[in-house]
Amino acid sequence: MEFNTKKSKKNRTLGNFDPDPRSDSPSDTFLESPLRSIANKGEPQELPLFDFDSMVVATNNFSMANKLGQGGYGPVYKGKLHDGTDVAVKRLSSSSGQGLEEFKNEVRLISKLQHRNLVRLIGCCVEREERILIYEFLANKSLDNFLFDPSPTKRAELSWAERFDIIQGIARGLLYLHRDSCLRVIHRDLKVSNILLDEKMNPKISDFGLARIFEGTQYLANTHKVVGTLGYMSPEYGLAGIFSEKSDVFSFGVLLLEIVSGKKVTRFLYNDEHLSLLSHAWQLWNKGKGLHLIDEALADSFSSTEVKRCIQIALLCVQDHAENRPTMAAVISMLSSETELLQPKEPTFTFHNPSKFDQPSDNNPSSVCENTMSLAEGR
């Protein structure tokens, strides 16, 4: 594989840009390892490199009026490219220690992943100290803006039919990551705020900064640094740092219960007591009262058969032991058929500590304990 250096910034891409280790520019050395890793796995992809000045113009100098939100990586802005294309511009915060690795990971992965239920990366900017990712702009922002709005009227804008379509779309995106792409990818941070919606309410999985590639027939991996979001972590990952595609399946099950109920897993109250959303859902389902879990904003405008089936599938996905959870291929089959489902056991574990972590955010009152965290692994 041979790289050719493009001297014109306008035409530079990650597919043909050869970093020069002798250069004084951080942008030249920064992407060398990820680029060579990508090249070694197949044909290089054409991912444009944008200069910083164009990002300043696109975002109106990163103005507050253009700001869409704030994540662990850094702020995200709405921008407009010179050709009129609307984009989302994610700028790495200088104080984000882990952000640099997430940036490299996202650039390395996204050039190989293309699916209608994954967010598309348009390009990136690596100039001086700046690290910026440029994505397609999705008009309806993230799923949590609808699901967790205090107003029932706002939540009702997301009908059950749309919720069910979103559930199926997320499942298809995960199946692509796990089995159908040229890589085997574990997302490791699937959560409601990482599901973005386009103008037609089609879901797109975003934020691959924590994703990991599995090689060959590898099934399990172990990490000394546990990263992810409380409430969505599987027991084996949260406690021992062991992850697999079944870790994503667990997160999907949690997300599915949130979509059905309109309730956050990270701050769920029942009878004024902290109670796991997972346990509450199982108790209702076990008593034959699964429909009591449905978001009250939907009133009676839902399919009771689909709702009950989704709850049962979600409970199968959040089983304590990974081997008892279905694959995403099985989940998609269960969602699209009427075959009899297995009976789930009560989930007894939730990686969740409300007294320590469930404090409302001043910056985003509708979001509680949804920041991605790094946790020291217990050994």
Question: What radius of gyration do the chain's Cα atoms show?
Answer: 21
Phi and psi torsions of 336, nearest 5°: -105, 10
Give the HSE-up count for residue 248: Cα atoms under 13 Å, Cβ half-sphere: 30
The first and second tokens of residue 377, run together, are 């692994």
* Alpha-carbon span 225 to 300, nearest angstrom: 45
Are the C-beta atoms of residues 226 and 379 closer than 8 Å to each other? no
Are the C-beta atoms of residues 227 and 246 closer than 8 Å to each other? no
Are the C-beta atoms of residues 210 and 227 closer than 8 Å to each other? yes
**Kind plus residue range of the DSSP H or E element containing 378:** none
Are the C-beta atoms of residues 92 and 131 closer than 8 Å to each other? yes
189 noted as active-site residue:
yes
Which of the following is catalytic: 144, 189, 248, 295?
189
Length of the chain: 379
Beta pairing class for 242-243 and 221-222: antiparallel
- End-to-end Cα separation, the chain, in angstroms: 42
* Alpha-carbon span 243 to 237, nearest angstrom: 5
Residue 174 DSSP class: H
Give the HSE-up count for residue 31: Cα atoms under 13 Å, Cβ half-sphere: 29
Which distant-in-sequence residues (6+ apart) come within 8 Å of 150 by Cβ?
Answer: 366
Alpha carbon of residue 352 to chain centroid? 19
**Concatenated DSSP letters of 307-345:** HHHHHHHHHHHT-SSGGGSPPHHHHHHHHTS-PPPPPPP
- Specify the residue for token string 């609808």: 146
Active site residues: 189
